[in-house]
C-alpha cells in the first residue's frame, strides 16, 4: 500500500513538471544551420537555461510554417510563438518600419547595428508593439545583392527588363522599378522553384541567404550591389508574451538578444567566407560596382514611398548616427 502511494505521488510530480514545461516554437525561413538557424537555437538554449528548463523550444525552419508574412499573421492570431523574420513584409503591418528598408541608407554593418541597438531601434520595437506583435530584439539578415541567370549586372542598364523577385515590400519594389528591373513580389518559399522554372530571372538577398539556400543551383551571376541593408527582428506573439510574469518576459528578452548576437556573428563569418563559397560553386561574382548610379535611381523612385507619409525626420536621424 505504502509503495502504491509513493508511486502515485512520484507519477503526479512528473506530470506536474511536464505540464509546467512549455515548448516554444521558433519559426524562420532558412535552414537550421543558416544565420537564422544559429540565432533560433541561441534563443532556445538561452531561454531553456535561464528558465531552468521551464521553457524548452524547437525550431520550425525553412518556412515549414509558411512565408514571413504568414508567420507574422500567425503571431497576431496566436498560432505562432516566436518568429525570426526580415523586415521585408513587416512594413505591411507596421508602416513606420519602411524607413529601415530604404535603399542605400545604411553605410555599413556598424552603422546599421548602432542604429538598431540605439534609441531609434527601441522606438521602432515599441511601434511594433502597438500592432498586435511583440518586438523583442533587432537581429540581422545582411546587405542584399542581386543574383540572376541571364547576365553580369554592373550598371543599372544591365538590370533593364530583368524579372527580379523582390520581397513583398513596396519600398523595395519602387527602388527596383527606378533602377530599371521588373520587380515581382513573391514569398520566399516559392522563390527557388520560380527561378528554376524561369518564372523570374533573378532575385536579391544577402550572401548569408544565397549560400544557405544554395542559389548557385539556379543562378549564375551575383553582383555585390549592397543596395539595401536587410534588418531582421525577433518577434513574439502577444497571446504568449502578455501572459508571462515579469521575470519570464526578461528571459524572453535576454534570449532574443542572445539570438541576435549569435546571428550577427554568423553574418560576420559569412561576409568573410561566403563569396569564396559562391565562386567554388560556380557563380560569377561581380565585385567592382559603381554604386552611385544605382543609388541615384533607387533613392529617386523609392524614398517618397516612406517620406510622403512620415516626412524626412527619421531618414535624417538614421543618417546622422555615427
Answer yes or no whether residue 205 interacts with ligand PAF by CB under 6 A.
yes
Tell me how far apart the alpha carbons of residues 103 and 159 are, in angstroms, rounded to a whole number: 16
Quote the least distance from Cβ 70 to ligand PAF, whole Å. Answer: 11
Task: Tally DSSP H helices, then E strands, for the chain.
Answer: 13, 9
Quote the least distance from Cβ 34 to ligand PAF, whole Å. Answer: 9
Of the candidate residues 80, 90, 99, 209, the single one contacting ligand PAF (CB under 6 A): 209
**279 alpha-carbon distance from chain centroid:** 25
Answer yes or no whether residue 147 interacts with ligand PAF by CB under 6 A.
no
Of the candidate residues 27, 29, 164, 184, the single one contacting ligand PAF (CB under 6 A): 29
Asked if residue 59 lies in contact with residue 84, where contact means CB atoms within 8 angstroms, the answer is no
Quote the least distance from Cβ 212 to ligand PAF, whole Å. Answer: 8
Quote the least distance from Cβ 226 to ligand PAF, whole Å. Answer: 14
Answer yes or no whether residue 148 interacts with ligand PAF by CB under 6 A.
no
Answer yes or no whether residue 88 interacts with ligand PAF by CB under 6 A.
yes
- The DSSP code for 213 is T
- The C-alpha cell that represents 156 in the structure block: 543599372
Q: Which is nearer to ligand PAF, 39 or 121 (CB)?
A: 39
Applying CB under 6 A, the site for ligand PAF has a residue count of: 11
Quote the least distance from Cβ 40 to ligand PAF, whole Å. Answer: 12
Answer yes or no whether residue 167 interacts with ligand PAF by CB under 6 A.
yes
Answer yes or no whether residue 141 interacts with ligand PAF by CB under 6 A.
yes
Asked if residue 120 lies in contact with residue 312, where contact means CB atoms within 8 angstroms, the answer is no
Answer yes or no whether residue 230 interacts with ligand PAF by CB under 6 A.
yes
Tell me how far apart the alpha carbons of residues 291 and 273 are, in angstroms, rounded to a whole number: 22
Question: Nearest-CA neighbor of 209 among 111, 79, 88?
Answer: 88
Q: Which is nearer to ligand PAF, 27 or 121 (CB)?
A: 27
**CA angle 112-118-124, nearest 5°?**
85
**6 alpha-carbon distance from chain centroid:** 51
Partnered with residue 145 across adjacent β-strands are 205
Binding mask 53-82 for ligand PAF (x = CB under 6 A): ---------------x--------------
Q: Which residues of 207-217 are buried (b: 16+ CB within 10 A; e: fewer)?
A: bbbbbbbebbe
In the chain the first and final C-alpha atoms are separated, in Å, by 74
Quote the least distance from Cβ 224 to ligand PAF, whole Å. Answer: 16
Of the candidate residues 86, 147, 219, 223, the single one contacting ligand PAF (CB under 6 A): 86
Give the largest Cα separation in the chain, rounded: 87
Quote the least distance from Cβ 77 to ligand PAF, whole Å. Answer: 21
Tell me how far apart the alpha carbons of residues 75 and 204 are, in angstroms, rounded to a whole number: 26
Tell me which residues touch ligand PAF (CB under 6 A): 29, 68, 86, 88, 141, 167, 188, 205, 209, 230, 232
Amino acid at each position: 500500500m505504502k509503495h502504491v502511494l509513493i508511486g502515485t505521488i512520484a507519477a503526479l510530480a512528473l506530470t506536474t513538471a511536464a505540464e509546467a514545461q512549455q515548448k516554444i516554437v521558433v519559426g524562420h525561413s532558412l535552414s537550421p544551420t543558416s544565420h537564422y538557424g544559429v540565432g533560433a537555437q541561441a534563443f532556445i538554449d538561452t531561454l531553456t537555461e535561464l528558465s531552468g528548463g521551464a521553457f524548452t523550444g524547437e525550431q520550425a525552419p525553412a518556412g515549414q510554417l509558411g512565408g514571413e508574412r504568414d508567420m507574422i499573421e500567425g503571431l497576431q492570431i496566436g498560432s505562432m510563438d516566436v518568429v525570426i523574420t526580415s523586415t521585408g513584409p513587416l512594413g505591411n503591418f507596421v508602416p513606420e518600419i519602411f524607413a529601415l528598408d530604404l535603399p542605400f541608407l545604411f553605410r555599413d554593418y556598424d552603422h546599421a547595428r548602432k542604429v538598431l541597438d540605439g534609441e531609434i531601434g527601441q522606438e521602432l520595437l515599441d511601434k511594433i508593439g502597438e500592432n498586435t506583435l511583440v518586438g523583442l530584439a533587432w537581429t540581422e539578415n545582411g546587405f542584399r545583392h542581386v543574383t540572376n541567370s541571364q547576365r553580369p549586372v554592373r550598371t543599372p542598364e544591365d538590370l533593364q527588363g530583368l524579372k527580379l523577385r523582390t520581397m513583398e515590400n513596396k519600398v523595395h519594389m519602387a527602388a527596383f522599378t527606378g533602377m530599371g528591373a521588373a520587380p515581382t513580389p513573391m514569398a520566399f518559399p516559392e522563390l527557388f522553384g520560380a527561378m528554376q522554372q524561369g518564372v523570374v530571372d533573378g532575385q536579391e538577398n544577402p550572401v548569408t541567404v544565397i549560400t544557405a539556400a544554395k542559389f548557385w543551383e539556379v543562378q549564375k551571376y551575383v553582383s555585390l550591389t549592397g543596395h539595401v541593408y536587410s534588418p531582421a527582428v525577433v518577434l513574439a506573439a502577444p497571446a504568449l508574451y502578455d501572459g508571462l510574469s515579469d521575470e519570464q518576459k526578461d528571459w524572453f528578452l535576454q534570449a532574443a538578444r542572445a539570438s541576435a548576437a549569435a546571428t550577427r556573428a554568423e553574418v560576420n563569418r559569412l561576409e568573410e567566407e561566403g563569396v569564396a563559397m559562391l565562386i567554388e560553386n560556380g557563380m560569377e561574382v561581380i565585385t567592382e560596382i559603381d554604386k552611385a548610379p544605382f543609388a541615384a535611381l533607387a533613392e529617386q523612385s523609392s524614398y517618397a514611398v516612406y517620406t510622403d507619409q512620415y516626412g524626412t525626420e527619421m531618414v535624417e536621424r538614421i543618417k546622422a548616427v555615427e
